[in-house]
Amino acid sequence: MRTPPFVAAALGCLSGILCASAVLAQVDLSGNWVLVSTQSGREHATGPYPGDFSGIPLNVQGRQAGWAYSGDERQELYRQCEPWSVSYIVTGPWGGRFTAERDHYGHVIAWHLSSQAYDRLPMTIWMDGRAQPPPQALHTYDGFTTGHWEGNTLVTHTTHLKDSFLERNGAPASSQETVNLFWTRHDDELSVLGVMRDPVYLEAPWPVTQTFRLTTAGSADIVPEYCEDAEIVQGVSDGYHSATVLPDQLPAAQHYMQQHYNIPLEASQGGAATMYPEFSKRLAKTYKTPTNYCTQYCCTGRDAEKFCKNSNN
Partner 1 sequence: MRACARSLERVGNATAWRRPGAALAVACLGAWLLAPAVVRAQGRALTAGAAAAAKSPSAREQAPYDLTGYWTSVITQNWQYRMVVPGPGEYADLPINAKAKQLADAFRASADTAAGKQCEAYGAAALMRLPEHLHIHWQDADVLRVDTDAGMQTRLLHFRPAAAHAAPEASWQGWSAAKWVLANAGGAAAGAAGAANAPPVRYGSLQVITDHLLPGLLRKNGVPYSAETKLTEWWDLRVEPEGDQWLTITSTVVDPQYLQAPLIYDSIFQKLPDDSKWAPAPCSLIS
| Residue 150 interacting with partner 1 (CB under 8 A) | yes
**Interacting residue with partner 1 among 239, 302, 305, 309 (CB under 8 A):** 302
| Residue 226 interacting with partner 1 (CB under 8 A) | no
Nearer to partner 1, 3 or 249 (CB): 3
- Taking the complex as a whole, the smallest distance from the CB of residue 255 to partner 1 amounts, in Å, to 15
| Residue 287 interacting with partner 1 (CB under 8 A) | yes
- Taking the complex as a whole, the smallest distance from the CB of residue 148 to partner 1 amounts, in Å, to 5
Nearer to partner 1, 81 or 313 (CB): 313
Angstrom CA distances, 306 to 38, 42, 200, 302, stand at: 19, 17, 44, 9
Distance CA 285, CA 276 (A): 16
- CB proximity list for 161: less than 8 A, separation 6 or greater: 85, 86, 139, 140, 141, 143, 173, 175, 177, 178, 179
| Residue 132 interacting with partner 1 (CB under 8 A) | no
Residues in contact with partner 1, counted by CB under 8 A, come to a total of 104
Contact predicate 169/66, CB 8 Å: yes
What number of other Cβ atoms are within 10 A of residue 187's Cβ? 7
Site for partner 1, residues 153 to 172, rule: CB under 8 A:
153, 155, 157
Site for partner 1, residues 190 to 209, rule: CB under 8 A:
191, 193, 195, 197, 205-209
Please report, in angstroms and rounded to a whole number, the separation of the first and last CA atoms in the chain. Answer: 89
| Residue 278 interacting with partner 1 (CB under 8 A) | yes
* Among the listed residues 79, 63, 83, the one whose alpha carbon sits nearest the alpha carbon of residue 237: 79
**b/e map 220-250, b = 16+ CB within 10 Å:** ebbeeeeeeeeeeeeeebebeebeeeeeeee
Contact predicate 126/113, CB 8 Å: no
Q: Binding segment for partner 1 among 25-33, 69-77, 79-87, 222-230 (CB under 8 A)?
A: 25-33
Q: Binding segment for partner 1 among 65-73, 104-112, 114-122, 231-239 (CB under 8 A)?
A: 104-112
Site for partner 1, residues 44 to 73, rule: CB under 8 A:
52, 54-56
Distance CA 79, CA 124 (A): 23
Q: Binding segment for partner 1 among 13-21, 74-82, 130-138, 168-176 (CB under 8 A)?
A: 13-21
**Interacting residue with partner 1 among 58, 86, 108, 161 (CB under 8 A):** 108
